[in-house]
Structure 1
Amino acid sequence: MSWATPVEQLRVLAADEWRALEDAHQQRVSRYADPYLARRSAGQKHPVEDFLFTYYTQKPGQLRRWHPGAGTILLGDKAIARAEWKHYRRLDDGALASLGLPAGSTAVTVDVAGFLADRKEAVAFAGIILRNTAARPAQFGCFGLHEWAMVYHQDRFDLRHEYLRLRLGSAGTDKVVEDNRIRCTHFDAFRFYTPDATVLNEFAPSRENQRHMEQPGCLHANMDLYKWAYKLLPLLPSEMVMDCFELSWRIRAMDMQASPYDLEEWGYPAIAIETPQGKAAYVEHQRSFAAEAALLRQRLAGALSAATAVEAR
């Protein structure tokens, strides 16, 4: 197979260089994954810190696996095992020669062409979501009421997070929902509303209109940058995926602080969005997260465009 990426765009890493990056990545993941795995083994739950491992499909073992991203070449005998990984390939002698490397050297890289061929629809959809979301004006008037709508009239339906106590009780929670505008634009939050809350939402987000509904002020749309990032592995570097993961981790914490649940004993003081002060605090956090997410969204879209542009030439 010939080498399609221009030599000047390549990053070549010796074994000691990329193994150090791999170790650093695994240590970064361990900070979050190890406590989760320990809780899971003990049959324990955490309402905030389990979420990224239980809601999203990327599991701790998959997250630990370090990927250098498209356009990076890994040298050394230990890289040969990666040639068997999905969407990786070993460079042939022609590619080695173009890099000034001896024939027969062990050099492995991401198989961009294979990835784009296998994941064509997923890549296209991720690109649409990233671009469309970035192009819309941010909305900051939801105040996290999606979590409240998920337990509205919960006495009539199956309990959500049955091991958690509602901070205002069922009646108080229902009153907050009824006294406020419910205007969620994110389908993957809206789909967990109780049936009685669904009709109260000003929008009707669906999987079909998701590409036209996502907006950059939404906490859940910004958390989902992690999802789009790991779905593009190994095209993207793991460092970028972890940047998205850590933003999502912090957003989840704030999202649950603003929820109807009493999480004081878990170390998460409430943001009381039923008050003017709580609403103001929520919007302040929301704007800050939106600014961070905008930069990450731009990086993700740029990396995706660069990889697809190289392959198109």
Structure 2
Amino acid sequence: MQVNEQAWRNKATLHQNEVESLTTEWRQYRDSGQKHPILDFLFSYYNLKISRLRLWSPGPEITLEGEHDGELLFGYYHSNETSFKLDPSRFPLQRLKNFKWISELLKKTSQKTPVFNCYGVHEWCMIYKSESKRHEELPLRISSKVLEDFVENTPCQCTHFDAYRFFTEDAAPMIQHPLERANQEQYEQSGCLHANMDLYKWAYKLYPFMSGDLLLRCFKLAIECRYLDMQASPYDLSDFNMIPIAVDTPQGKEKYVSEQHRLKKIADPLRLELAAAYDKLIQLCDDVPKT
């Protein structure tokens, strides 16, 4: 498929404008030297620079007419005098083994029975019986006793290794299924808030060999997941006009589960699209003539 220069430049501009809109609040805090406890996470734990997020890609097998723009496609392109497109032969082939693992993880996660009774206990377990906090700049909205009672009386159903690895020493033994990187495929499931947030990570690892539209849809989902993550945490976020979801109460648990279901419905098709995009690049790379 071939796209004329005016059309793709319009798409690239719309993509950049959407990124600017989605990151306005974060950039305002950053430029004033302040931290934003929710949105900073998307540019610290997740390490795609905003300059890269702003760049639009058509995905593979799309030819763009006009002068080539090496920055646009991160340098993974070939061109002639009148057009350019992504070139899988320029992709670092040593990354394909990891990409095959990611594709399998995405597919297996989709097939697992989702878990909806974790109640966001992971954020509580990260500061359980600890003298320090993950977010030192934020006060807690509950007492130490409420925090300890919630952790001790909530079966720890966490299935996400990258949340579990931040549990305190006292909280770690409470998990029902001990997690490690080696068994991530065994436990990762589609009801998990962090597994759905991580779709953004899997998207930008593949970028630009997938569409900018899919990348931004995953970024938007990550924003929503992160807000829910912190709303259900024990931190006081009233300075950020955020209403807590008190998962230490029956009403809060119900609200959290409802939001988990809503976000899962958004994540499910994204996860399958990402797996297909990984498989497409793997196939394109396999088809590159070996020299």
In the other structure, the counterpart of 2:48 is 58
Structure 2 residue corresponding to 1:170, chosen from 144, 157, 163: 144
Where does 1:213-292 land on structure 2 (aligned, <5 Å)? 213-292=187-266
Report which stretch shifted further, 12-21 or 115-124. 115-124
In the other structure, the counterpart of 1:49 is 39
Please list the CA deviations of residues 223-275 of structure 1 after superposition, one character each: whole Å capped at 9, or x if unmatched: 00000010001111111011000011011111111111111221110111111
Structure 1 residue corresponding to 2:156, chosen from 172, 182, 194: 182
Structure 2 residue corresponding to 1:32, chosen from 22, 41, 46: 22
Where does 1:61-140 land on structure 2 (aligned, <5 Å)? 61-77=51-67, 79-81=68-70, 85-91=74-80, 105-115=81-91, 117-140=93-116
How far apart are the structure 1 equivalents of 2:71 and 2:29? 31
Structure 1 residue corresponding to 2:167, chosen from 186, 193, 196: 193
> Is 1:22 matched up with 2:12?
yes
Query: Secondary structure, in 3 states, of the residue corresponding to 1:71?
Result: coil
Q: Tell whether the 8 Å contact from 2:57 to 2:73 is kept in structure 1 after alignment.
A: no
Q: Tell whether the 8 Å contact from 1:167 to 1:260 is kept in structure 2 after alignment.
A: yes
Report which stretch shifted further, 111-120 or 216-225. 111-120
Flag the 1:118–1:233 CA change in 2: closer, same or farther, 3 A: farther
In the other structure, the counterpart of 1:7 is none
When normalised by structure 2's length, the TM-score is: 0.93
Flag the 1:160–1:83 CA change in 2: closer, same or farther, 3 A: closer
Structure 1 residue corresponding to 2:128, chosen from 139, 152, 161: 152
Query: Secondary structure, in 3 states, of the residue corresponding to 2:23?
Result: helix
Q: Compute the displacement of 1:134 (Å).
A: 0.9
Q: Tell whether the 8 Å contact from 1:49 to 1:249 is kept in structure 2 after alignment.
A: yes
When normalised by structure 1's length, the TM-score is: 0.87
Query: Secondary structure, in 3 states, of the residue corresponding to 2:84?
Result: strand
Q: Compute the displacement of 1:66 (Å).
A: 1.4
Letter in 2 for 1:288: R
How far apart are the structure 1 equivalents of 2:2 and 2:35? 43
How far apart are the structure 2 equivalents of 1:84 and 1:292? 27
Q: Tell whether the 8 Å contact from 2:188 to 2:195 is kept in structure 1 after alignment.
A: yes
How far apart are the structure 2 equivalents of 1:264 and 1:80? 44
> Is 1:210 matched up with 2:184?
yes
Query: Secondary structure, in 3 states, of the residue corresponding to 1:209?
Result: helix
Q: Tell whether the 8 Å contact from 1:80 to 1:106 is kept in structure 2 after alignment.
A: no
Q: Compute the displacement of 1:56 (Å).
A: 0.3
How far apart are the structure 1 equivalents of 2:96 and 2:271? 20
Letter in 2 for 1:141: N
Q: Tell whether the 8 Å contact from 2:56 to 2:72 is kept in structure 1 after alignment.
A: no
Flag the 1:12–1:195 CA change in 2: closer, same or farther, 3 A: same
Letter in 1 for 2:231: Q
Q: Tell whether the 8 Å contact from 1:134 to 1:215 is kept in structure 2 after alignment.
A: yes
Please list the CA deviations of residues 200-235 of structure 1 after superposition, one character each: whole Å capped at 9, or x if unmatched: 111211111112221111000000000001000111
Query: Secondary structure, in 3 states, of the residue corresponding to 2:2?
Result: strand
Letter in 2 for 1:46: H
Greater C-alpha Rg: 1
Query: Secondary structure, in 3 states, of the residue corresponding to 1:195?
Result: coil
Indicate the RMSD between aligned Cα atoms, in angstroms: 1.8
Query: Secondary structure, in 3 states, of the residue corresponding to 1:74?
Result: strand
Query: Secondary structure, in 3 states, of the residue corresponding to 1:208?
Result: helix
Identity among equivalent positions (%) equals 39
Letter in 1 for 2:116: F
Please list the CA deviations of residues 177-199 of structure 1 after superposition, one character each: whole Å capped at 9, or x if unmatched: 11211121101101111111111
How far apart are the structure 1 equivalents of 2:33 and 2:165? 27
Q: 5+ unaligned residues in a row in structure 1: which ranges?
A: 1-10, 92-104
